[in-house]
Amino acid sequence: MENVFQLSTTSVMGLGCTNDGVGIKYQIICKSLSPGTGRLEIHGNFSSDVLEACQVAINLACNNSYFDLVNTFIILPDGIDGRSCALPIFLALYAKCNNLEFQDNIAVTGDLDFLGNVLPVEDIKIKMEATKKCERVIMPWLNWQEVELSPPPYVHPVTNIKQAVEVAFKPYLPHVNTFPVLG
């Protein structure tokens, strides 16, 4: 069976914080623009912390042969800073690699290490202010106690990328907050 290229776009809503302490939602866009040799480009005006977060997310996501077939572009908004964009970038790449649709009512924040552990982020209370129109938030387990759990949104704290993938792409039961079982 021959592989057929399809133009496709995946976007994930990230949570951030401006320099003056305002919580914001931003969109990470992952596009497959052309068949090719597996070139992966990152576009946007961002800090070295964001570039490091991108490198971790890419290393964790790129064990899929999908990237050998197409040229993929990650588009980040100008001005984002910090490593909390690593988990949203990973989930955008994971969705792209596996032809999954990421729901637009989910916001994501979290740093990653090279082992796939989700690390805590700074300013989580401020970031949560930007989630008013989100139904769900995927965030680091180590941050969830800092957040008031009055729904919506429903908070899904995770400790690793496997849990984040399960939460992001499984059917959603809106009447419960979900918390990972540590073990």
| In contact, 102 and 95? CB cutoff 8 Å | yes
Q: Which structural domain range is residue 141 located in?
A: 8-168
With a CB cutoff of 8 Å and minimum separation 6, the contacts of 129 are: 22, 23
Q: Can you tell me the mean pLDDT for 1-20?
A: 67
pLDDT at 141: 95
Instruction: Write the CATH number for 57.
Output: 3.30.230.10
The 10s digit of each residue's pLDDT in 60-106 is 887 644 555 566 778 888 777 789 999 999 998 888 777 778 887 88
Residue 121 lies in a domain: yes
pLDDT at 63: 63
* Total number of domains constituting the chain: 1
Residue 71 lies in a domain: yes
Q: Strand pairing partners for 24?
A: 16
- Tell if the pTM clears 0.85, that is, is over it: no
Residue whose token pair is 């991108």? 54
Q: Can you tell me the mean pLDDT for 142-154?
A: 75
Residue 84 lies in a domain: yes
Q: How far apart are CA 172 and CA 21, in angstroms?
A: 31
